[in-house]
Amino acid sequence: MAIAPPSERVWWNEPIARTELVWMIVAFLWGVIMFFTMIFWHIYGEQNLATESYRVNPESFAQRADEMIEQYTVREEDGFPVVRPPPGSEVYLIARAFQWYPLLELQKDKAYRLHLSSVDVQHDFSLQPVNINISVHPGYEHVLTITPTTLGEHGVVCNEYCGLGHHMMIGKIYVTE
């Protein structure tokens, strides 16, 4: 609501001030430039992950993950299994109330198919410092091919508030030779 009503009730017939017209043109042109820039970066920017998504039963996903954990566990760390699957294999990572399970140990410059899913609520897979972000929903499985290129310990955090223990939801991916 305006403090005082306009002197002319038919305001849209009033002439536009020159400076206001210039700003409208600048804003329109900037919008057009940004629109085409987004299309360009989507096609040529190489920042979009090539993921596959499937509907999945959370119990069957957890079962496949448990089979992988049983087969490829190399050690335990803080009560969590550390799994070292062979290059080229299917790797499962479960998001559940305040943990990424299991911890992974992958080989540098080797490709893996990483399967992500949640068994309870929505989470967000964020791999640091690589800047990979994927929303992880219960009932959906995301599959992406990853090739670790940097040695060391990489943190996996949840960027979607998932409950009172959200701040403790940290996982690890170790990249070794």
If one counts every other C-beta atom within 10 angstroms of the C-beta of residue 85, the result is 22
Domain 51-176: CATH class, spelled out: mainly beta
Show me where the domains of the chain are located. Answer: 14-44, 51-176
Query: Model confidence at 133, in pLDDT bands (50, 70, 90)?
Result: confident
Q: Which residue has the tokens 């490829």?
A: 72
| Dist CA 49 CA 134 (whole Å) | 9
Give 174's pLDDT tier (boundaries 50, 70, 90).
very high
- In this predicted structure, what is the pLDDT of residue 153? 92
Cα 5–chain centre separation: 49
Picking from 134, 91, 132, the residue whose alpha carbon sits closest to that of residue 114 is 91
Confidence of residue 16 (pLDDT cuts 50, 70, 90): confident
pLDDT at 11 over 90: no
Return d(Cα 121, Cα 135) in angstroms, integer: 11
**pLDDT at site 128:** 82
Q: Where are the alpha helices (DSSP H) in the chain?
A: 18-44, 58-72
| Distance (Å, whole) CA 166 – CA 123 | 9
Express as a percent the part of the chain with pLDDT over 90.
61
State the greatest distance between any 2 C-alpha atoms of the chain, in Å, as a whole number: 80
